[in-house]
Structure 1
Amino acid sequence: MSGKKVRPLVFDEVCDLFIALGANNSPSEMHGLLGGQLAAGKRMEMDEWLAEAREFIDTEASFTKEQREQLQYVYMSTLIALADDELGFYPLLPDDEADFDARLRCLAFWCQGFLAGFALVEKKIKDLPEVVNDALNDLAAISQLQTEDDENSDDNAEDDYMQIVEYVRLAAMNIFVEYAVDAIDAEDDAVQGKDYLDAQSLFKSRQLH
């Protein structure tokens, strides 16, 4: 699989992009939607991906050059991370300092997006491999998670959350392996000759928070 390494996406940086675009939905859900499609074997040219991102964000405004490159990086970094031999993929979620309820909601959004993205590609297949079917059922259950009111359960809830995130990221990578033997064959064509792997230059400013 991929020998390339990428700097992981940062939730707050993608949030800034969403704010600039006037989006009201969750970056986690969009990342899950993309991850589900990639895990099911779909590959997109950049124009197709940008059109899909525009539809998800629900905007008719034109992307700036910088916004296009940022969204292109979201695509490429997600594909390369899923194909990482060293299991470097992570769902796009708020960091540990964020409110626990917000993190749990974003995890549910990510799983909902992944399931929707996978279904878009695999909707005509009735008999899924057992490992894929089991993982999808688990992600469906996780997508329904809600916070607990018991304040005494905070420590346990935090531990449970971390274990669930670890399961989710490995489940996504396992599904990807089932469907993506040639994981990133088209990546050089997809970036249209430009290296989009420098996230520090693409997400170089966070002035909106």
Structure 2
Amino acid sequence: MRSHSMPEHLTHDELGETITRLRIGVGASDLHGSLTGYLCAGGDAGASAWPEALELDPNGDGWNGNPIVGRLYHLCRQQLEDDEFAFEPLLPADERPLSERGDALVEWCRGFLGGIGLAGATATRSLSDNASEILRDLGTIAASRFDYDGSEGDEAALIEVLEFVRVGVLLLHAELREPLRGGVTAASSRRLH
């Protein structure tokens, strides 16, 4: 049996450099959010076809077979399915300015909602009140522009919003991966129509 040892970490900077090199045209947080939303909602394009499923059109060479692109897919899936709830939105490092991290979280939420839409799960099933409220709150964050006065309270507020997003995504993933009535998952339901 062959073991696939996947790197356990991918940084925002690593992904950003790859995006720039491949001229994908989205930010690192947006891309991670989009893929996470797509997977969270049952998107099943696979490690090589997910860029097409997310309607990405990179202009550079090397998209197919790029190790960072493949690694991103496997890490997203691994984090969402982790029993220890290790999922984290991919954002700039904590040493980066608060405004940059806050803007990246807004961008991540926009991408996440777009990925959910592209997976089509919410069109094939009704969501619980809790899941619907989480999606509305993520939409509010995605439409926000945070103001910072440089206080420690701003840092604490961003950490609180980030934790809400993290837990909300895990709750949505759990609900959207539950079988629909009759044992049909959201992803397979799309294929039946």
TM bucket (normalised to shorter chain) is 0.7 to 0.9
Name the CA distance, whole Å, in 2 between partners of 1:180 and 1:108.
Answer: 25
Kindly indicate whether residue 174 of structure 2 is the aligned counterpart of residue 156 of structure 1. no
Deviations, residues 69-127 of structure 1 (Å, cap 9, x unaligned): 21111011101100111010000100111111111111001101111111222352463
8 A contact 1:15–1:27 mirrored in 2: yes
- Residue equivalent to 2:142: 143
Paired amino acid for 1:16: E
The one of the two structures with greater contact order (alpha-carbon pairs below 8 A, sep at least 6) is: 1
Name the amino acid aligned to 2:67: E
The amino acid of 1:38's aligned partner reads: L
Matched, 1:169 2:170: no
Report SS of the residue matched to 2:49.
helix
How do residues 176-191 of structure 1 correspond to structure 2 at under 5 angstroms?
A: 176-181=173-178
Which structure 2 segments of 5+ residues have no match?
180-193
What is the TM-score of this pair, normalised by structure 2? 0.80
The letter for the 2-side match of 1:166 is E
Corresponding position of 1:192: none
In structure 2, relative to structure 1, the CA distance for the partners of 1:165 and 1:13 (3 Å cut) is same
Mapping 1:4-83, distance limit 5 Å: 7-52=8-53, 55-56=55-56, 58-63=57-62, 68-83=66-81
| Counterpart residue identity of residue 11, structure 2 | V
- The separation in 2 between residues aligned to 1:141 and 1:5, in whole angstroms, is 35
| Per-residue deviation, residues 124-164 of structure 1 (Å, max 9, x unmatched) | 2463122210110111111122232544xx21111000111
Partner of 1:92: 90
Aligned-pair distance for 1:19? 1.8
C-alpha distance in 2, partners of 1:38/1:149?
Answer: 32
Query: Shift in Å at residue 59 of structure 1?
Result: 2.3
Structure 1 unaligned runs (5+)? 183-209
- Distance in 2 (CA, whole Å) between partners of 1:143 and 1:50 is 22
Give the total of aligned pairs: 174
Cα distance in 1 between the residues matched to 2:30 and 2:90: 9
* Superimposed CA distance per residue, residues 172-201 of structure 1 (whole angstroms, 9 cap, x where no aligned partner): 11111112259xxxxxxxxxxxxxxxxxxx
Contact 2:79 2:87 in 1 (8 A): yes
Residue pair 2:24, 2:59 contacting (<8 A) in 1 also: no
Residues 31, 178 of structure 1: alpha-carbon distance in 2 compared, 3 angstrom cutoff: same
Query: Where does residue 198 of structure 1 map in the other structure?
Result: none
Root-mean-square deviation (CA), in Å?
2.3
Distance in 2 between residues matched to 1:155 and 1:171, nearest whole Å: 24
Question: Which residue identity does 1:174 align to in structure 2?
Answer: L
**8 Å contact kept, 1:93–1:107:** yes
Deviation at 1:47, TM superposition (A): 3.0
What is the CA-CA distance between 1:30 and the residue it aligns to? 0.9
Contact 1:5 1:81 in 2 (8 A): no
Tell me the SS of whatever aligns to 1:98. coil
Q: Is the 8 A contact 1:111 1:143 kept in 2?
A: yes
CA distance in 1 between partners of 2:13 and 2:178 (Å): 32
Separation in 2, partners of 1:149, 1:180: 37
